[in-house]
Amino acid sequence: MPKMPKYDAVLSNSVFSYFPDYTYANTVLEKLFIKAQYVIGLIDIHDIEKKEDFINFRKANIEDYEIKYKDLNKLFYSKEYFIQFAKKHDMNIKFTKSKMEGYWNNEYVFNCYLYKREA
């Protein structure tokens, strides 16, 4: 991946949960780090602490959930995963809750912002 151009901020909205594994997620994070001049924004990260509640909610509200979503896995993350990435790259980190009005997924996701420190 070319190091140029760089962008002030790079944003990932609701895609990390669809990655096949953490190795792939780490590869993407490293590329975002290269491209971001100041900040990386990761929106709608599925919280591993709420995985069971998320699945139970979907089973209760989606008919034939087990059949419809059989091969559609979702990757859940701990906040610690992103904290370790921030430490490795000497970044500041901030987590926020999703507050989108009427969004059923608010309870199961978090947002993560990784800030590069000034040199």
Q: Is there a domain that residue 22 lies in?
A: yes
Q: Is residue 34 part of a domain?
A: yes
The pair phi, psi for residue 102, each rounded to 5°, is 80, 5
Task: Report whether pLDDT(119) > 80.
Answer: no
Does residue 82 belong to any structural domain of this protein? Answer: yes
Segment 46-88, tens digit of pLDDT:
999 999 999 999 889 889 888 888 888 899 999 999 999 999 9
3-class SS at 21?
coil
Distance (Å, whole) CA 32 – CA 26: 10
Q: Are strands 36-46 and 7-13 parallel, antiparallel or unpaired?
A: parallel
Flag whether the pTM goes above 0.85.
yes
Does residue 46 lie in a domain region? yes
Whole-number Å distance between alpha carbons of 69 and 7: 36
Cα dihedral 16, 56, 83, 23 in deg (nearest 10): -40
* Cα atoms found within 13 Å of the Cα of residue 111, Cβ hemisphere only: 13
Number of compact structural domains in the chain: 1
pLDDT of amino acid 68 = 82
For residue 67, what pLDDT is reported? Answer: 82
pLDDT for residue 65: 84
Q: Is residue 49 part of a domain?
A: yes
Host domain of residue 108:
7-116
CATH number at residue 30: 3.40.50.150
pLDDT at site 78:
98
pLDDT value for 3? 67
Q: How confident is the model at residue 4 (pLDDT cuts 50, 70, 90)?
A: confident
